[in-house]
Amino acid sequence: MSPEFDRMHGSISEVSDPMSEIAVKLPPSKPFFSVVIPVHNKVDHLESSLACVYAQTFSDFEIIAVDDCSTDGSLEILREHEKAGKLRLYRRSEPGPGGYAARNLGVRKARAEWIVFFDADDIMHDDHLMVFHDAISENGRLDFFCNNYVMRVGSKVVGKNKGISSGVYNKLDGLTFFAQNDFVHMNSASIRRRLIEKLGGFPEGRYKRGGDVYFWVKLLADIEAFYYSDMVTSEWLLDNSFVTKNPDNLTVHPLADFIKTERPRLDEMCDIQLRRIINRKIIAWATEKRLQGRGCYHDFPHVSLKGLGYENMLRLLLLSMPLSIYHGAITMKRTWRA
């Protein structure tokens, strides 16, 4: 890692597991991928999630698991897998909100040039790494690759990226895609390690939720080109997403800070798409709060008129109505769509 990255994300909270790397048989050369898995109380899903990583048809990779102070038996499972030589295990002394600090620690410990993140309660198809490898082999100058993914509730697929074909895209394309939909997910990306270093890693210690979106937007605003594959190679299991479900994690979206904090240098078209992204996410969180019966007026000042659009303007108008009228309008909308 670069000195700046280490300074920003130092090792104060890192704790080496006493058993770490004793039984792990490291390959003689650097692996092609490092799969970084943060783990915090995932005992019900950990075995099945690890199994789908082990089942990859592309085998030149290492697994780095970072236990983020689990108390449910997850650490014991990870230790058994470490003793079997299947992964390298590190621990943190205190849990970091959203798992962002754990991911940064995993990147610092990675041996590969290419980093793949994976959540310990989701699904990776057995061709996930192979699709990345083939795309990287054909487009080696790029630093960011993204595969398609699906969101699933129970056995039902509730979301899938549509309309983006496989190919190389530029900065404006990426920002435009994200202004319409979260086409990138934590499980769907492969990033060259030096790009993560340049970006300073995930925003640890600042956000309980939404820090991943902050990172993706920062990445898309920085890169000049990337590769997207329309093949679905991972699944986000929403039933297991406790960070998303916890209402205490729902504040003003982290992107409200983005322009002031990052000061991105973008041309006019890219800047409009960036502000569309910020507006979309802030309004989405405000809507979520409203459906919970909570106020959302603190969100409104962070919405930019630039790139707002007619549809989001109507959403803001609806969000400003009394709660009884708001719920009535939502019910009518759902009935009309059905």
In this prediction, residue 105 carries a pLDDT of 97
Per DSSP bridges, beta strands 61-67 and 33-39 are: parallel
Identify the pLDDT of residue 28: 56
Cβ(65)–Cβ(178) below 8 Å = no
Question: The pTM is what?
Answer: 0.85
Structure token digits, residue 89: 């295990």
- What does DSSP assign to residue 140? T
- pLDDT for residue 24: 46
Tens digit of each residue's pLDDT, the chain (338 residues): 544 444 344 433 455 444 344 344 455 579 999 999 999 999 999 999 999 999 999 999 999 999 999 999 999 999 999 999 999 999 998 888 889 999 999 999 999 999 999 999 999 999 999 999 999 999 999 999 999 999 999 889 987 888 899 999 999 999 999 999 999 999 999 999 999 999 999 999 888 889 999 999 999 999 999 999 999 999 999 887 666 667 676 688 999 999 999 999 999 999 999 999 999 999 998 888 888 888 787 888 889 888 888 888 888 877 877 766 656 655 555 555 54
The CB density around residue 41, as the number of other CB atoms within 10 Å, is 19
Name the residue among 182, 188, 193 with its Cα closest to residue 62: 193
Q: Is 127 helix (H, G, I), strand (E, B) or coil?
A: coil
Q: How far apart are CA 103 and CA 125, in angstroms?
A: 21
Residue 331, pLDDT score = 58
Return the SS3 of 307.
Answer: coil
Q: What is the CATH number of domain 3-144+184-220?
A: 3.90.550.10
Dihedral sign (CA 313, 319, 320, 321) = positive
Residue boundaries of the structural domains of the chain: 3-144+184-220, 255-337
Helix 100-109 with 211-222: angle, nearest 10 deg: 50
